[in-house]
Structure 1
Amino acid sequence: MIPTVVWGTGNVGRAAIRAVDAHPELELTAVLVHDPAKVGRDAGQLAGLERELGVRAVDDVDAVLAARPRAVVYAASGDMRPDDAHADVARALRAGAVVVTPALYALYDPPSAPPELLKPLREAVAEGGGSLFVSGVDPGWGNDVLPLLISGLGSRLDVIRCQEIFDYSTYDQPDSVRDLIGMGHPLDYVAPMMLETVPTMVWGGQIRLMARALGVEIEEVRETMVRRPLERTVSTRTMGEFEAGTQGAVRFEVQGIVGGVPRLVIEHITRIHPSCAPDWPSPPDGAGAHRVIVEGRPRIEVTVEASDEDENRSAGGNATAVGRLVNAIDWLVGRPAGIYDALDVPLRPARGRLGRSWG
């Protein structure tokens, strides 16, 4: 069994605890939390399981890393605290752990990561002997392994479009939805995630990774952005009211330009209520989905819906992103220390888990 720590118990951390518990080769040995109110609570309770796991949450990072865990699922957010997340991951690497995380956007494509971010992590790997794999929570597989797999099914390839389409009214992450993305703010409010170049900073690595796999040169990365106001005040189950006239939907693209044409596109279409921007693409169930469209011959379209935590489609996206990360741990443990990406880490069958009862 591989001793594994889950660091953080938010939307991603809850799913990570469940994924580690379900994995036949992993053993949950510690859960790290920041909120004092969570210290001492059982991991099963924090993860929404119907049973206790016998692991109590702690906030002593030094003590947990001093025990030299073989793996760390770093589930703390990097959205509002990128420098802290980077430092935390480096600490875990220096402790010799295999670290999997969605928090370091720049590491989606390590070859194109800024040297000032990559160098300290390489040094931490060399010092501690750990390994790092970063994959997105949006989820990463929808912007790398899935479109690349589908691209091999056709004879002519014109455009690959990866879409996240969500109604965030059920997403229990008010800081991100309201302040980071701008939902519920006046349209003249410039949300951090909507600032020019930020979408490229977050998703540009996945564009470059796909281009690298396909053997094409990206001439430039472009962005498009459209925002729509709510026509009426709406109420959400998890985040209260959003007033008429404030931002109710946003649609943006990060485009990889090849031969002067957008050939690789990552597109997000997000709403706080289905009544906003009804002319934009909507998910089949009305809540959320991830879609890959390959324009070419033949034209191929694949839509993936996932639900978790009482049919919450947003939580389902988190859970599949976490599954990609957690299910890579045993593979990484068997490989040399280093920094890996989605082209290195295979997507493998869930061996030993069919029919297994775990919660």
Structure 2
Amino acid sequence: MIATVVWGTGNVGRAAIRAVEAHPGLKLAGVVVNNPDKVGKDAGILAGLHHELGVTATGDADAVLAASPRAVVYAASGEVRPLEAIADIAKAVKAGAVVVSPSVYALYDHRNAPKEFTDPIHEAIAQGGGSLFVSGVDPGWGNDILPVLMTGLASTIDVVRCQEIFDYSTYEQPDSVRYLVGMGQPMDYQPPMLAPMVPSMVWGGQIRLIAKALNAEIQEIKETVDRRPLEKTVTTRTMGEFEAGTQGAIRFEVQGIVEGEPRIVIEHVTRIHPGCAPDWPQPPSGAGAHRVIIEGRPRIEITVEATDEGENRSAGGNATAVGRLVNAIGWLAEAGPGFYDALDVPLRPVTGKLGRK
């Protein structure tokens, strides 16, 4: 059994605790929290399992790492604190742990990441013998390994398109929904997530990974952004009202240009209400889905819908992203020290899971 720590208990951390507990080859060895109100609480309760796991949360990360856990799922936020997250991750790698994380966008494609992000990790690997694999919650598998696998079914490939299509009224993160992506804000508000070059910073690494797998040369990465206002005021279950005339939907693309054309595209279509921008791509049912389309011969399309924490598809996306990371721990432990990406780490079945609750 691989002793595994979960660091962070937000949307991703909750799913990580559940995934580690369910994994036949892992043992939950600790939980690190930042919120002092969570210190001393049982991991099972924090994860929404409604029963205790016998592991209590602590705010002392150094003490947890001093016990030399074999693996760490780093689930603390890195969106607005990437350098702090890098420092935390490097500390865990230096302690000799296999570290998996979705928290630092730039490290999806670490070979092209800024040196201030990668140097601390390389130093930690050299000093402590740990390893790191970063994959996204968007989810990473939907923008890297899944489309790459699907290209193996095609005779010719014109465009590889990855879509995330979601109703954000189900995403219980009001700060992110209202301010990071701008839902409910005036149409002249500049959402930080849509600022020029930010989408490329977040998803450009996955564009480059797909290109690497296909032996294609990316000439440049371009962005397109479209925004639509709400035609009428809507009320959400958890985040209150979003007024008519404010931003109700966004659609953006990060495009990898190959031979002058957008050939590898990551597209997000996000609404606060399904009635806004009805002409844009829609999920087959419910709140959302992830879709990969291979334009070529034959044309191939696959749509993935996942639910968790009831019927929450936002939580389902997080849970599948966590599954990709947690299920990679065993392979990483066997592979040895290193800095890995999505093309390095295989997507493989986990024996002993069938029928486990």
1-side partners of 2:125 and 2:233: how far apart? 50
Q: CA shift at 1:87, angstroms?
A: 1.1
* Other-structure match for 2:303: 303
Amino acid at match of 1:348: R
- Provide, for residues 40-79 of structure 1, a one-character-per-residue CA deviation record: whole Å limited to 9, x for no partner: 1111111111311001111011111111111100011111
- Provide, for residues 71-121 of structure 1, a one-character-per-residue CA deviation record: whole Å limited to 9, x for no partner: 100011111211211111111111111110001111111221122211111
1:94 aligned to 2:94? yes
Q: How does 1:171-186 map to 2 (within 5 A)?
A: 171-186=171-186
1:188 aligned to 2:206? no
SS in structure 1 at match of 2:5: strand
User: Do the aligned partners of 2:20 and 2:26 also contact (CA within 8 Å) in 1?
Assistant: yes
1:73 aligned to 2:77? no
User: Do the aligned partners of 1:274 and 1:286 also contact (CA within 8 Å) in 2?
Assistant: no
* Other-structure match for 1:217: 217
1-side partners of 2:61 and 2:243: how far apart? 41
Structure 1 vs Structure 2 CA RMSD: 0.8
Q: How does 1:1-150 map to 2 (within 5 A)?
A: 1-150=1-150
User: Do the aligned partners of 1:172 and 1:239 also contact (CA within 8 Å) in 2?
Assistant: yes
1:320 aligned to 2:320? yes
SS in structure 2 at match of 1:322: helix
1-side partners of 2:124 and 2:315: how far apart? 32
* Other-structure match for 2:282: 282
* Other-structure match for 2:272: 272
2-side partners of 1:79 and 1:247: how far apart? 22
2-side partners of 1:37 and 1:300: how far apart? 48
User: Do the aligned partners of 1:165 and 1:289 also contact (CA within 8 Å) in 2?
Assistant: yes
* Other-structure match for 2:157: 157
Amino acid at match of 1:52: E
- Provide, for residues 264-316 of structure 1, a one-character-per-residue CA deviation record: whole Å limited to 9, x for no partner: 00000001111111111110113110000000000000000000001100100
Q: CA shift at 1:220, angstroms?
A: 0.2
Q: CA shift at 1:152, angstroms?
A: 0.8
SS in structure 2 at match of 1:210: helix
Q: CA shift at 1:350, angstroms?
A: 2.5
User: Do the aligned partners of 1:228 and 1:247 also contact (CA within 8 Å) in 2?
Assistant: yes
1-side partners of 2:223 and 2:74: how far apart? 29
1-side partners of 2:336 and 2:170: how far apart? 41
1-side partners of 2:201 and 2:98: how far apart? 25
Q: Give unpaired runs (5+ residues) of structure 2.
A: none
Amino acid at match of 2:287: A
Determine what percentage of the aligned residue pairs are the same residue: 73
- Provide, for residues 171-200 of structure 1, a one-character-per-residue CA deviation record: whole Å limited to 9, x for no partner: 111121111111111111111111100000
* Other-structure match for 2:240: 240
SS in structure 2 at match of 1:62: helix
Aligned length: 357
* Other-structure match for 1:250: 250
User: Do the aligned partners of 1:257 and 1:263 also contact (CA within 8 Å) in 2?
Assistant: yes
User: Do the aligned partners of 2:131 and 2:332 also contact (CA within 8 Å) in 1?
Assistant: yes
Q: CA shift at 1:18, angstroms?
A: 0.3
* Other-structure match for 1:199: 199
Amino acid at match of 1:45: I
SS in structure 1 at match of 2:27: strand
Amino acid at match of 1:99: V
Q: Give unpaired runs (5+ residues) of structure 1.
A: none
Moved more, 335-344 or 259-268: 335-344
1-side partners of 2:278 and 2:257: how far apart? 29
User: Do the aligned partners of 1:251 and 1:269 also contact (CA within 8 Å) in 2?
Assistant: yes
- Provide, for residues 149-190 of structure 1, a one-character-per-residue CA deviation record: whole Å limited to 9, x for no partner: 111101110000000000010111112111111111111111
2-side partners of 1:326 and 1:286: how far apart? 27
1-side partners of 2:86 and 2:178: how far apart? 24
Structure 1 length as normaliser, TM-score? Answer: 0.98
- Provide, for residues 123-158 of structure 1, a one-character-per-residue CA deviation record: whole Å limited to 9, x for no partner: 111111110000000000000111011111011100
User: Do the aligned partners of 2:86 and 2:120 also contact (CA within 8 Å) in 1?
Assistant: no
Amino acid at match of 2:332: L
SS in structure 2 at match of 1:227: strand
* Other-structure match for 1:168: 168
